[in-house]
C-alpha cells in the first residue's frame, strides 16, 4: 500500500518498518510540544551557519533552550524577489559555459553553476574564485544590476565526500542576510547563512590575517539580539546570567508607550518614576530607549545586614520608597458589550440609571458609568444599564478587592460611527507601589525580592552621610560571577561624580585597558576609593563597620511579578469530581500543591501530625468500608433493609464473604479508593490487612 518512492529517477521500494520509524520521527520533530520536551542537545546547538544570524544569548533556559531563538540586531529577512533576467547572461559573459554548451575541461574539473536552484551552466575549477570575486565586487559596489541581497556560495572540491561542490547563487526571498565589512573594497556587504560557512570573517583588528581574512564584523556585538545589546558589560558576566536578563528585560514594569490615554490593552504596566541609566551600551541610544525607560538608578551597597537580605532578597530604604522609588501602576481595561447580555425578548438595553435606583447609585453619572477620576472599592457600583421595554435596571458591582481609579472610558461603535451606545471600554488604574514580595532585578540577571522596607534611621551610612537605596547581599556574586554588575556600580558612581553617561558596550575594554582601571582612576579623581569601597557606619549602633563596603550606582528594574497578583488563600472550596481532592489554580480559588519535597521537610522536622493534617484531613479524607476477613475495599455493599423493618438499620455486607459482622469502617484518602477501583478494572486485587 506504500507504493514506490521516486527519487532522482530511481524507484526504491519503501521498507515498512523504516517508513514507520520515519513517520514517528517526523511526528516528534514537527509537533511543537513534543519537540520542546526532547532531551537531545544536537538540535539546540548554535551551528556555524547560524552565527551572526541567531543570537547565542537570547534564548530561554530550560526545555525550550536553543529551540526558541531570536534574530541578531543587524540580521534582516529578504522580503522581495530580486531576480533579474540579466543575471544569466552576465554569468555567461564572465566565463560560465551554458548548459547547452560544452566546457573546455572535463565535467569532473568544473563546478556546476546554479541560480535559485536551477542549473544555468558550468565554470572551470580555476576560474571559479575569480568569478566569485567579481560577483562580490559588483554586489558591494552596486554595479551591473546585481541585487545587494544576492548570496554567492562557492563550495570547493575538497576530495572529501561531504557537501556537493558547486557555485550557488540565490536571489529568492525568505533568506536571512546580515552586513559585514568587505576588507578589499572597504564597503559594507550583505552575506547569507550558506555563504558565511565558506568565508573567513575577522572580529577585531588584530585578528585580520593578510591573504586569509576577507571580511570583518561591523561591531564585535553584532552577534547579539536587540535585547541582549541592552546588557551593560555583558562580556564580563557568566553566560546564563545574560540569558536570564534577556528574559527579565521583557518583564520590566517600565514605560512601554507614550499614548496611555488612547490605548485599550487588557493589561498595561507603568513605572511612575523611570530614569535614564547612567551606564548604558551604545545600542541603548541607537534605539532611543530613553523615550521608553525600564528602571531607576539606585545607590546599592553590597553588605550583609540584618539577615533580611539572605537568599536573593534585598532590603529597600523606606525613605526612598516614600519618595517614590519604583512606584508603578497597572492599567486594566474591561470591554462591556450590552449585545452580549441580551436575553430572549430583551433587545433594547442601554446604559443608564433607572428612576428607582437614582438615589442609591450616586457615584454613577446619568449614563450609568463611573466618572473619570473616581475611586472604586470592593462592592461599589461599577456600571448600570436598563431595559427600555420593561424599565428594569441592572447594576454590576466592582468585584476587585484592590482600590482602583477610573482612568478612561471609551464609547465603542462600528467603523462608520452609526452604531448605538451599546459598548464601552472602561480602563481602571490600579496603583502598585513596591511591597514585600515584589520582584526586582539588576540588568545582569541578579533577581531578588523585596524582603523589608528598612527605616532610614537604621540603614548603614557613609562618612558623608549618604544612605543606600538598596542593600544587596554579597553572597550573590561569587557563584553567579556577574562581574559586569560590579563594573557598572563603579561606572555609575564615577558617572554621578563627574556628570557623565558611560559607554557600557561589551568588548570595548581589553586586558591592556581594563574597565576596573579606567573607572578606578575616575573614582580616585573624584576623591573616592580606587576600588569603589567606602567606610560605613551602622545605622543601629553608630559604630564604624570593620570591613570596607562596596557601594555604587546600579540601574535597577522593577519586574511585573508582584505578590498582589500571586497570593493565594483557601479554607474550603471546589474539589475534583474524580479524586475529591482540592482543585488547583488561583483563579478558581484552588489549593496549593503540597509536594514531595514539602512532605520531606515535615518528616525531617518530625511534625507527623501536621503532615497527616495536610495530606489527609485537609485534602480528601473519606470514610470507607472494608472487610476484615478478605481485606477487600470494594466488596462491602450497603444491604437494603427489609420492607417490613421499622428500624431501617443501615447494614454493609461483604459480597465475597456474605457476612456483615466482618465489615469495619476505615478512614482513607478518597484518591486511594479510586486507585483500588482502577486496579480492579485491570484484574489486580488489592488486599488490605486491617487489624
Strands (E), 343-390: 349-351, 375-376, 381-387
User: CATH classification of 568-617, choosing from 3.90.1800.10, 3.40.50.2020, 3.40.50.300, 3.30.2420.10?
Assistant: 3.90.1800.10
Could you report the per-residue pLDDT of 622-640, keeping only the tens digit for each?
A: 999 999 999 999 999 988 7
What homologous superfamily is domain 621-681 in, according to CATH? Answer: RNA polymerase alpha subunit dimerisation domain (3.90.1800.10)
Backbone angles phi, psi at 40, to 5 degrees: -70, 150
Residue 38 has pLDDT above 80, yes or no: no
Closest CA to 91 of 45, 152, 174, 141: 152
Closest CA to 124 of 99, 151, 106: 106
Residue 20 has pLDDT above 50, yes or no: no
Domain positions in the chain: 76-223, 230-327+436-558, 336-427, 568-617, 621-681
DSSP string, 484-553: HHHHHHHHHHHHHHHT--EE--TT---SSS-HHHHHHHHHHHTTS-TTSEE-EE-TTT-PBPSS-EEEEE
Residue 31 has pLDDT above 60, yes or no: no
Task: Tell me which DSSP letter residue 559 carries.
Answer: B
Q: Tell me what the mean pLDDT of segment 518-531 comes to.
A: 95
Residue 2 has pLDDT above 60, yes or no: no
Task: Tell me which DSSP letter residue 583 carries.
Answer: P
Spatial separation of the C-alpha atoms in residues 302 and 446, rounded to whole Å: 13
Residue 331 has pLDDT above 70, yes or no: yes
CB atoms within 10 A of CB 221: 22
Q: C-alpha angle 320/321/325, rounded to 5°?
A: 80
Write down the pLDDT at residue 639.
82
Spatial separation of the C-alpha atoms in residues 249 and 57, rounded to whole Å: 13
Are residues 503 and 229 in contact, defined by beta-carbon separation less than 8 angstroms? no
Range ranked top by mean pLDDT from 90-94, 201-205, 277-281: 277-281
Task: Tell me which DSSP letter residue 584 carries.
Answer: B
- The confidence band for 571, taking pLDDT boundaries of 50, 70 and 90, is confident
Are residues 393 and 356 in contact, defined by beta-carbon separation less than 8 angstroms? yes
The residue with greater pLDDT, 35 or 644, is: 644
Q: Residue 25 corresponds to which cell in the numbers above?
A: 520521527
Range ranked top by mean pLDDT from 149-163, 332-346, 671-685: 671-685
Are residues 332 and 427 in contact, defined by beta-carbon separation less than 8 angstroms? yes
Are residues 287 and 499 in contact, defined by beta-carbon separation less than 8 angstroms? no
Strands (E), 235-327: 267-271, 279-280, 296-302, 313-317
Least confident of 121-125, 162-166, 485-489: 162-166
Backbone angles phi, psi at 510, to 5 degrees: -120, 180
Record the pTM: 0.85
Are residues 445 and 462 in contact, defined by beta-carbon separation less than 8 angstroms? no
Q: Tell me what the mean pLDDT of segment 339-360 comes to.
A: 76
Spatial separation of the C-alpha atoms in residues 421 and 653, rounded to whole Å: 68
Residue 190 has pLDDT above 80, yes or no: yes
Write down the pLDDT at residue 122.
96
Specify the fold of 76-223: Hypothetical Protein Ta0175; Chain: A, domain 2 (3.90.1070)
Spatial separation of the C-alpha atoms in residues 532 and 524, rounded to whole Å: 9
Q: C-alpha angle 649/620/653, rounded to 5°?
A: 25
- Is the fold of 230-327+436-558 the same as that of 621-681? no
Between the alpha carbon of residue 35 and those of residues 31, 55, 60, the distances in Å are 6, 20, 15
Torsion sign, CA atoms 67, 73, 74, 78: positive
Are residues 380 and 404 in contact, defined by beta-carbon separation less than 8 angstroms? no
Residues 6+ apart with CB under 8 A from 328: 253, 269, 270, 271, 272, 431, 432, 433, 558
Specify the fold of 230-327+436-558: 2.40.270
Could you report the per-residue pLDDT of 575-597, keeping only the tens digit for each?
A: 999 999 999 998 888 999 999 99
What is the chain's alpha carbon radius of gyration, rounded to the nearest angstrom? 36
Closest CA to 549 of 232, 312, 305: 305
Cα-to-chain-centroid distance, residue 163:
38
H helices, E strands: number in the chain: 14, 35
Q: Tell me what the mean pLDDT of segment 324-343 comes to.
A: 90
> 61-89 burial string, b = 16+ CB within 10 Å, else e?
eeeeebeebbbbbbbeebeeebeeeebbe
Between the alpha carbon of residue 347 and those of residues 65, 296, 387, 598, 662, the distances in Å are 53, 52, 8, 55, 66
Residue 15 has pLDDT above 50, yes or no: no
Are residues 554 and 300 in contact, defined by beta-carbon separation less than 8 angstroms? yes
Could you report the per-residue pLDDT of 243-283, keeping only the tens digit for each?
A: 999 999 999 999 999 999 999 999 999 999 999 999 999 99
Write down the pLDDT at residue 16.
34
Are residues 113 and 96 in contact, defined by beta-carbon separation less than 8 angstroms? yes
Between the alpha carbon of residue 131 and those of residues 17, 126, 184, 674, the distances in Å are 48, 10, 15, 76
Closest CA to 93 of 123, 63, 64: 123
Q: Residue 137 corresponds to which cell in the numbers above?
A: 565586487
pLDDT above 70 as % of the chain: 92
Q: Tell me what the mean pLDDT of segment 537-561 comes to.
A: 96
pLDDT above 90 as % of the chain: 74
Residues 6+ apart with CB under 8 A from 571: none
Spatial separation of the C-alpha atoms in residues 441 and 249, rounded to whole Å: 9
- The confidence band for 4, taking pLDDT boundaries of 50, 70 and 90, is very low
DSSP string, 188-245: EEEEEHHHHTTS-EESSGGG--TTT--EE-S-GGGGS-TTGGGSTTGGGB-HHHHHHH
Spatial separation of the C-alpha atoms in residues 393 and 385, rounded to whole Å: 6
Spatial separation of the C-alpha atoms in residues 564 and 416, rounded to whole Å: 41
Closest CA to 299 of 545, 489, 557, 521: 489
Write down the pLDDT at residue 640.
77
Closest CA to 552 of 621, 610, 502: 502
Spatial separation of the C-alpha atoms in residues 177 and 175, rounded to whole Å: 6
Residue whose C-alpha cell reads 461483604 in the numeric block: 654
Write down the pLDDT at residue 512.
81
Q: C-alpha angle 231/233/238, rounded to 5°?
A: 85
Mean of all residue pLDDT scores within the chain? 89
Residue 601 has pLDDT above 70, yes or no: yes
Query: Using H for helix, E for strand and C for coil, what is the string for 243-277?
Result: HHHHHHCCCECCCCCCCHHHCCCCEEEEECCCCCC
Domain 336-427 has CATH 2.40.50.150: yes
Amino acid at each position: 500500500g506504500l507504493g514506490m518512492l521516486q527519487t532522482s529517477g530511481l524507484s526504491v521500494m519503501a521498507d515498512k518498518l523504516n517508513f514507520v520509524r520515519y513517520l514517528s520521527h517526523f511526528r516528534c520533530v514537527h509537533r511543537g510540544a513534543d519537540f520542546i520536551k526532547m532531551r537531545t542537545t544536537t538540535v539546540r546547538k548554535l551551528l556555524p551557519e547560524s552565527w551572526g544570524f541567531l543570537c547565542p544569548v537570547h534564548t530561554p533556559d530550560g526545555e525550550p533552550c536553543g529551540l526558541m531563538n531570536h534574530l541578531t540586531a543587524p540580521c534582516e529577512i529578504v522580503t522581495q524577489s530580486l531576480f533579474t533576467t540579466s543575471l544569466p547572461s552576465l554569468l555567461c559573459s564572465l566565463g560560465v559555459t551554458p548548459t547547452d554548451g560544452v566546457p573546455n575541461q572535463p565535467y569532473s574539473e568544473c563546478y556546476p553553476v546554479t541560480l535559485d536552484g536551477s542549473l544555468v551552466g558550468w565554470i572551470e575549477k580555476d576560474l571559479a574564485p575569480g568569478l566569485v570575486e567579481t560577483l562580490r565586487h559588483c554586489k558591494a559596489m552596486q554595479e551591473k544590476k546585481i541585487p545587494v541581497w544576492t548570496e554567492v556560495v562557492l563550495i570547493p572540491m575538497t576530495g572529501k565526500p561531504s557537501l556537493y561542490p558547486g557555485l550557488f547563487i540565490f536571489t529568492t526571498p525568505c533568506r536571512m542576510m546580515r552586513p559585514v565589512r568587505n576588507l578589499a573594497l572597504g564597503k559594507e556587504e550583505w552575506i547569507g547563512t550558506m555563504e558565511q560557512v565558506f568565508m573567513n570573517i575577522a572580529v577585531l583588528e588584530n585578528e585580520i590575517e593578510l591573504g586569509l581574512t576577507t571580511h570583518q564584523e561591523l561591531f564585535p556585538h553584532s552577534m547579539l539580539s536587540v535585547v541582549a545589546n541592552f546588557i551593560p558589560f555583558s562580556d564580563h558576566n557568566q553566560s546564563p546570567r545574560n540569558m536570564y536578563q534577556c528574559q527579565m528585560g521583557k518583564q520590566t514594569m517600565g514605560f512601554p508607550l507614550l499614548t496611555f490615554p488612547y490605548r485599550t490593552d487588557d493589561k498595561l504596566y507603568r513605572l511612575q518614576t523611570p530614569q535614564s541609566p547612567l551606564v548604558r551600551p551604545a545600542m541603548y541610544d541607537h534605539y532611543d530607549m530613553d523615550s521608553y525607560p525600564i528602571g531607576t538608578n539606585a545607590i546599592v551597597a553590597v553588605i550583609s545586614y540584618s539577615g533580611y537580605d539572605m537568599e536573593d532578597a534585598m532590603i529597600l530604604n523606606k525613605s526612598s520608597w516614600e519618595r517614590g522609588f519604583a512606584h508603578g501602576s497597572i492599567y486594566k481595561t474591561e470591554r462591556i458589550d450590552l449585545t452580549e447580555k441580551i436575553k430572549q425578548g430583551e433587545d433594547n438595553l442601554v446604559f443608564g440609571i433607572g428612576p428607582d435606583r437614582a438615589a442609591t447609585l450616586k457615584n454613577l453619572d446619568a449614563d450609568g458609568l463611573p466618572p473619570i477620576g473616581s475611586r472604586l472599592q470592593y462592592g461599589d457600583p461599577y456600571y448600570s444599564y436598563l431595559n427600555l421595554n420593561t424599565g428594569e435596571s441592572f447594576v454590576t458591582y466592582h468585584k476587585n478587592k484592590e482600590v482602583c481609579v477610573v482612568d478612561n472610558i471609551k464609547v465603542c461603535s462600528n467603523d462608520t460611527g452609526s452604531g448605538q451606545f451599546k459598548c464601552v471600554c472602561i480602563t481602571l488604574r490600579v496603583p502598585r507601589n513596591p511591597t514585600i514580595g515584589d520582584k526586582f532585578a539588576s540588568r545582569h540577571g541578579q533577581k531578588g525580592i523585596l524582603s523589608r522596607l528598612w527605616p532610614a534611621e537604621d540603614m548603614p551610612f557613609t562618612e558623608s552621610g549618604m544612605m543606600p537605596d538598596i542593600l544587596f547581599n554579597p553572597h550573590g556574586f561569587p557563584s553567579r560571577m556577574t562581574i559586569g554588575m560590579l563594573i557598572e556600580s563603579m561606572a555609575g558612581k564615577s558617572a554621578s561624580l563627574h556628570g557623565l553617561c558611560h559607554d557600557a558596550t561589551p568588548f570595548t575594554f581589553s586586558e591592556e585597558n581594563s574597565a576596573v582601571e579606567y573607572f578606578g582612576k575616575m573614582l580616585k579623581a573624584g576623591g573616592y576609593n580606587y576600588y569603589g569601597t567606602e567606610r560605613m557606619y551602622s545605622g543601629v549602633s553608630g559604630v564604624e563597620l570593620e570591613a570596607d563596603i562596596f557601594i555604587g550606582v546600579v540601574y535597577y528594574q522593577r519586574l511585573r511579578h508582584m505578590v498582589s497578583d500571586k497570593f493565594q488563600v483557601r479554607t474550603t472550596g471546589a474539589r475534583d469530581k474524580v479524586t475529591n481532592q482540592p482543585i488547583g489554580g488561583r483563579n478558581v480559588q484552588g489549593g496549593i500543591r503540597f509536594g514531595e519535597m514539602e512532605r520531606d521537610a515535615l518528616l525531617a522536622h518530625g511534625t507527623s501530625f501536621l503532615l497527616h493534617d495536610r495530606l489527609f484531613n485537609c485534602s480528601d479524607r473519606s470514610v470507607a468500608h472494608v472487610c476484615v476477613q478478605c481485606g477487600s475495599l470494594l466488596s462491602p455493599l450497603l444491604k437494603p433493609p427489609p420492607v417490613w423493618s421499622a428500624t431501617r438499620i443501615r447494614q454493609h455486607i461483604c459480597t465475597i464473604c456474605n457476612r456483615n459482622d466482618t465489615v469495619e469502617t476505615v478512614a482513607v484518602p478518597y484518591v486511594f479508593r479510586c486507585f483500588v477501583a482502577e486496579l480492579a478494572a485491570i484484574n489486580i486485587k488489592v488486599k488490605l490487612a486491617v487489624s
